[in-house]
Amino acid sequence: MEETKIILDEKEMPRQWYNINPDLPKPMDPYLSPQTMKPATPDELNVIFPMDLILQEVSQDRYIDIPDEILEIYSMYRPTPMFRAKRLEKALGTPAKIYYKYEGVSPAGSHKPNTAIAQAYYNKKAGIKRIATETGAGQWGSALAMACNLMGLECTVYMVKSSYDQKPYRHIMMETWGANVIPSPSNQTHAGQQMLAENPGHPGSLGAAISEAVEDAATHEGTNYSLGSVLGHVLMHQTVIGLETKKQFEKINEYPDVMYGCVGGGSSFGGVAFPFVVDKMNGKDLQLVAVEPSSCPTLTKGVYAYDYGDTAKTAPIAKMYTLGHDFVPAPIHAGGLRYHGDSPLVSLLHHEGIIDAISYKQLSVFDAALQFARTESIIPAPESAHAIRAAIDDALKCKETGEEKNIFFLLTGHGYFDLGAYEQYMSGKLEDDEYSERAEEEALAKLPQV
Amino acid sequence: MEETKIILDEKEMPRQWYNINPDLPKPMDPYLSPQTMKPATPDELNVIFPMDLILQEVSQDRYIDIPDEILEIYSMYRPTPMFRAKRLEKALGTPAKIYYKYEGVSPAGSHKPNTAIAQAYYNKKAGIKRIATETGAGQWGSALAMACNLMGLECTVYMVKSSYDQKPYRHIMMETWGANVIPSPSNQTHAGQQMLAENPGHPGSLGAAISEAVEDAATHEGTNYSLGSVLGHVLMHQTVIGLETKKQFEKINEYPDVMYGCVGGGSSFGGVAFPFVVDKMNGKDLQLVAVEPSSCPTLTKGVYAYDYGDTAKTAPIAKMYTLGHDFVPAPIHAGGLRYHGDSPLVSLLHHEGIIDAISYKQLSVFDAALQFARTESIIPAPESAHAIRAAIDDALKCKETGEEKNIFFLLTGHGYFDLGAYEQYMSGKLEDDEYSERAEEEALAKLPQV
């Protein structure tokens, strides 16, 4: 019997997060306050974030200890397994070896709890009673609902209205963990009221839901805001993925030649790639490739500039690849990748040429998802399937060249709540997404002048 | 950091199934042919089952080797983790220790693949091209669809129509794995046609869907039938659960005082309990408790007699606890537990006083499910939640007596596709199930005369 699963003992679970800040090729540009257009001070950020997380954001310590209480909850589902995709390799007839690490084993079904648990912990420690956040497809909202429930915090989730209606199971899941889920735009905030006044049938957007959650946190005593991606501390919490992946490759005496990960805000990709970045900067022959939807091609077609994180311009301004904070991507099913901007850390590394990026259209992504489900049995989330598409294409190239490459991709979560999209695809009803250069141009014209 | 997860290395995965036949306190009564009312011959059974499985059904070998091809697929998700439910213990304030083993980590989300993979393998080996089966809530159909896809077999699933409509994600999941899912009763079989002629709006039932699948297999060359529970070989394949559980308790130098498992057809319960039965027969102080829904109280209120396995009386007749093959239980959400009969092996052991049985009403089961989800984070399937209810009640008794007991229950699967039922429960719309003594009396009057 050949082994296809590479597992770690609980004792091998990382006890520290890896902080890439001290290893960056150049220092990060600071976040700016949307009020002053000057670097945001810790006190300004402290209105919606606990100080521990603000300090992590700017820390120059290469490793940061993971508190025991967080480790104990991580151990419910970590270390996560890495698999060799032998059945997929066989179906493709490739000489390449395909590996993937699966984060869908967490109770919330994705990698998101890695940071949700940490964020809930530090907020609890700071005396916070309630956390407000936004969610699109629902993976982040589910993870934070679960984490808040474990830490004894209240949780309010502003969920993009179109997703709320399309994926009822997601909000029921959050409610099962005790969260209060509000379709956004809502009447609960000024931002929401204004959007509804302009358009009573507003379907919602991630940028709009962020505005509501930030306002909720800023205007309620004892309430903080929590973001599921983009920020540095979020990516740092996700490095448990990459640190485990490194150990798993060491176990089998292998090293990846290329690593693919899907990118929306960039947290899962940063989490898996960052522990490998130093190797690459030290000369290791390794490709790190961010895979995004062609309908929201932030890294492949956006500009590297300061932009707002949300529609209402209340969140901090960040230097990042962006399509413009007003850009509304096509309603593809990979809702978790529909963000106009990207992690400032991933953006910087892309700008410096350390991280590559490619994009795929929706139909080719679902084609890969189905091929994966029918060989490896796990039904992938549409977001994760972007990385699968890239891995399959690379493996098919190896079939032509005969190269015996180690191809890795990160499987961020399962697609149990996305089966409606699978049905559309299988019945030929799913359409390919269109990307509007013009919409991007218009949105980019509205970048803040800094 | 205290360990709450007891995991096994892949090398510790069982390489053999445990066959309880040679250890039974008295021999099994044979299956009878519905045509002759005499013991079914291997040739009669071979019309719908492969010979390897028929031989397993009557084998007196205590251990049967698991073929490498099956082990390789098992290793995708096995060994499954066992957890100590410390957060639940704390919430209950009990001195008892609560352990549970979680089978929901399989790609199909339940324990069902343990036998689906084995059955698909032996059918493939016998040259079979297609398997027909039935499914109620969808867990079994999903598992067999996945297994057939892996073995390169076609799969036709007759799904109880009311479930097909209520849980669309389940049939999409099976279709994603390439299965053909047909709402039952259907026009594809004589049995289905007759049921529809009598009642065009027939909502379907497990007994009816079995009749359709058995007829499909019996009347198509190269097609066999596959059953997800009840039969001896099915329970034997599930003993990987109990064998692992034993090793996991050994790892922490503990032994359970009581083991709870939900029972529909009895396969998960048999799978976890049988490796412990010999210990109990040898004098070990251990309670083995089957937990069933009060609306389908086969073990607690049924009779121990020969009965048909399906509505159309085409499947073999078995000696078992039964409520009568015509008995239609209330439409509770734990669809996997709505079977009029029970595993002949579990029935025999219950009749001999080795296995105990209790029943619970639906609302108290969902109450336990929610308490579990809000402490341990995993959202349980309504079927599994029956065992949780029993474990919680026992732990609460320990709170009164101060007993530091080891309570174990089997968590057979997750409830991601049952969130509609959770929503009904949380919004107060779920009703308690009613049990009709009269319906049972009427159904029992129709037992076969043997």
Predicted local confidence at residue A84, as pLDDT: 97
B chain contacts of residue A109, beta-carbon cutoff 8 Å: 416
Interface mutation target, options B10, B80, B139, B176, chain A, most CBs of A under 10 Å: B176
The answer to whether residue A395 scores a pLDDT higher than 70 is: yes
Q: Which residues of B touch A419 (CB under 8 A)?
A: 168-169, 172-173, 176
CB A223 within 8 A of CB A128: yes
Q: Residue written as tokens 């974030």?
A: A49
User: What is the rounded average pLDDT of the residues A404-422?
Assistant: 96
Comparing A122-136, A158-172, B170-184, B432-446, the range with the smallest average pLDDT is B432-446
Of A5, A72, A175, the CB nearest to B426: A175
Average pLDDT of every residue of chain A: 95
Confidence bin at A159 (pLDDT 50/70/90)? very high
Q: What are the residues whose beta carbons fall under 8 Å from the beta carbon of A42, sequence distance 6 or more?
A: A51, A54, A55
Q: Which of residues 397-426 of A touch B (CB under 8 A)?
A: 416-417, 419-420, 422-423, 426
CB of B65 less than 8 A from some CB of A = no
Q: Which two tokens stand for residue B128?
A: 């079979």
Interface check B144 vs A, CB under 8 A:
no
Measured between CB atoms, does A178 come within 8 Å of chain B?
yes
The Cα–Cα gap between B192 and B204 comes to 9
Residue ranges with strand state E in A277-381 = 287-293, 303-308, 317-322, 356-360
Percentage above 70 pLDDT, chain A: 99
Dist CA A390 CA A262 (whole Å): 9
What are B383's two structure tokens?
Answer: 């079927």
Which percentage of chain B shows pLDDT scores above 90?
86
Q: Mutation test of the interface with chain A: which of B75, B170, B377, choosing the one with the most A Cβ atoms within 10 A?
A: B377
Distance, CA of B311 to chain centre: 19
- Biggest alpha carbon–alpha carbon distance for chain B: 64
What integer is the mean pLDDT of B22-41? 95
Which CATH number applies to B78-109+233-437: 3.30.200.20, 3.10.180.10, 3.10.450.230, 3.40.50.1100?
A: 3.40.50.1100
Of B163, B167, B215, the closest CA to residue B192 belongs to B215
Residues of chain B found within 8 Å of residue A150, distances taken between Cβ atoms: 87, 377
Closest CA to A19 of A225, A228, A231: A231
Beta partners for B321? B304
The pLDDT tens digits of the residues spanning B197-226 come to 999 998 888 888 999 999 999 999 999 999
In 3-state terms, what secondary structure has residue B370?
A: helix
Average pLDDT over every residue of A320-348: 90
The domain segmentation of chain A, as residue ranges, is 25-67+112-231, 78-109+233-437
Residues A264-280 have a mean pLDDT of 97
Average pLDDT over residues A297-325: 93
DSSP A372-441: HHHHH---B-HHHHHHHHHHHHHHHHHHHH----EEEEEE-BB-GGGHHHHHHHHTT-PPPP---HHHHH
Distance CA A99, CA A83 (A): 6
Q: Do residues A77 and A112 make contact, with C-beta atoms less than 8 angstroms apart?
A: no
Mean of pLDDT values over B263-267: 96
Q: Are A176 and B373 in contact (CB under 8 A)?
A: yes
Q: How would residue B370 be classed by pLDDT, with cut points 50, 70 and 90? A: very high
Q: Tell me the C-alpha distance between A270 and A263, whole Å.
A: 9
* Structure confidence at residue A323 (pLDDT): 94
Which tokens is A247 given?
């150990």
Nearest to A419 by CA among B136, B382, B171, B106: B171
From A173, A189, A225, A184, select the one nearest A206 (Cα to Cα): A184
In this prediction, residues A424-448 reach a mean pLDDT of: 88
Work out how many CB contacts closer than 8 A connect A with B. 118
Tell me which residue of A184, A181, A183, A182 sits closest to A208, measured CA to CA.
A184
Which residues in A lie closer than 8 A to residue B151 (C-beta atoms)? none
Q: Do B172 and A4 count as a contact with CB atoms less than 8 A apart?
A: no
Residues in chain B: 450
| CA distance to partner chain A, nearest, from residue B81 (Å) | 9
Q: Do B447 and B307 form a contact (C-beta atoms < 8 A)? A: yes
Is the previous residue joined to B185 through a cis bond, with omega within 30 degrees of 0? yes
Task: Say how far apart CA A95 and CA A396 lie, in whole Å.
Answer: 9
Extended strands (E) in B42-192 = 63-65, 82-84, 97-102, 130-135, 154-160, 180-184
Average pLDDT, integer, range B30-55: 95
Residue A228 identity (one-letter amino acid)? G
| C-alpha B408 chain-centroid distance | 18
A1 at B interface, C-beta within 8 A: yes
Residue numbers in B near A7 (CB within 8 A): 9-10
Instruction: Summarize pLDDT for A73-103 with one digit per residue, the tens.
Output: 999 999 999 999 999 999 999 999 999 999 9
Question: What does the pLDDT look like over B328-369, one tens digit per residue?
Answer: 888 888 888 988 999 999 999 999 999 999 999 999 999 999
pLDDT over 80 at A166, yes or no: yes
| Closest CB to B416 among A10, A416, A423 | A416
Q: What pTM value is reported for the model?
A: 0.96
End-to-end CA distance of chain A: 61
Q: Which backbone phi and psi does B31 adopt, to 5 degrees?
A: -70, 145
Higher pLDDT, A382 or B207: A382
CB contact under 8 A, B72 and A1: yes
- In tens, the pLDDT along A1-42 reads 556 899 999 899 999 999 999 999 999 999 999 999 999 999
- Residue B67 reports pLDDT greater than 80: yes
Rounded to whole angstroms, the Cα distance separating B123 from B119 reads: 6
Q: Helix or strand or coil: residue A258?
A: strand
* Residue A445 near chain B (CB below 8 Å): no
Distance of residue B1 Cα from the nearest chain A Cα, in angstroms: 6
Query: How does residue B153 score in pLDDT terms, banded at 50, 70 and 90?
Result: very high
* pLDDT for the residue numbered A2: 59
Closest residue in chain B to residue A88, using alpha carbons only: B150
Of A146, A417, A422, nearest to B377 by CB-CB distance is A146
Residue B146 has its nearest CB partner, among A3, A377, A423, at A377
- Tell me: pLDDT of B2 over 70: no
With contacts defined as CB-CB under 8 Å, which chain B residues touch A177? Answer: 373-374, 377
B124 or B440: which leads in pLDDT: B124
Chain A: give the shortest CA distance to residue B263, in Å: 24
A11 CB-near residues (< 8 Å, 6+ apart):
none
The strand pairing partners of A425, in sequence order, are: none
Per-residue pLDDT, B238: 98
Residue-wise pLDDT for B378-424, tens only, equals 999 999 999 999 999 999 999 999 999 999 999 999 999 999 999 99
Following CA atoms B89, B90, B95, B101 in sequence, which dihedral angle do they give, to the nearest 10 degrees? Answer: 20
Do B83 and A76 lie within an 8 Å CB cutoff? yes
Q: B316, B34 in Cβ contact below 8 A?
A: yes
B382 close to B334: Cβ distance less than 8 angstroms = yes
Q: Is the Cβ pair A176, B378 closer than 8 Å?
A: no
Q: Return the CATH fold of A25-67+112-231.
A: Rossmann fold (3.40.50)
Q: What ipTM is given for this predicted complex?
A: 0.95
CA of B376, closest CA in chain A: separation in Å? Answer: 8
pLDDT digits (tens, 9 = 90+) for A40-51: 999 999 999 999
Q: What pLDDT, on a 0 to 100 scale, did the predictor assign at position A438? A: 84
User: What does the alpha-carbon distance between residue A169 and residue A175 come to, in Å, rounded to a whole number?
Assistant: 10
What is the distance between the alpha carbons of residues B362 and B386, in angstroms, rounded to a whole number?
9
Q: CB contact, 8 Å: A251 with chain B?
A: no
Out of A5, A146, A169, closest to residue B76 by CB: A5
* A307: nearest Cα among A207, A202, A412: A207
Q: What is the pLDDT of residue A427?
A: 96
The identity of residue B137, as a single letter, is A
What are the DSSP calls for B39-84, one per residue?
BPPHHHHTTTS-HHHHHHHH---SEEEPPHHHHHHHTTTPSPPEEE
Contacts of B10 in chain A (CB under 8 A): 3, 5, 7
Distance from CA of B124 to the nearest CA of A (A): 17
Chain A: closest CA distance from residue B176 (Å): 7
Rounded CA separation B354/B281 (Å): 8
How confident is the model at residue B265, as a pLDDT? 95
Q: Compute the distance between CA of residue B386 and CA of residue B260 in angstroms, rounded to an integer.
A: 9
C-beta separation of B101 from B241 below 8 A:
yes
- In tens, the pLDDT along B416-426 reads 999 999 999 99
A307 token code pair: 């932009």
Q: How many Å lie between the alpha carbon of A304 and the closest alpha carbon of chain B?
A: 40
Cα B60 from Cα B45, distance rounded (Å): 18
| CB B149 within 8 Å of CB B222 | no
Report CA-CA distances (Å) from B252 to A23, A64, A430, B191.
42, 31, 51, 52
Same fold, B25-67+112-231 and B78-109+233-437: yes
For the ranges A205-209, B366-370, B440-444, B445-449, the maximum mean pLDDT occurs at B366-370
In this predicted model, what pLDDT tens digit does every residue of B114-124 receive, in sequence order? 999 999 999 99
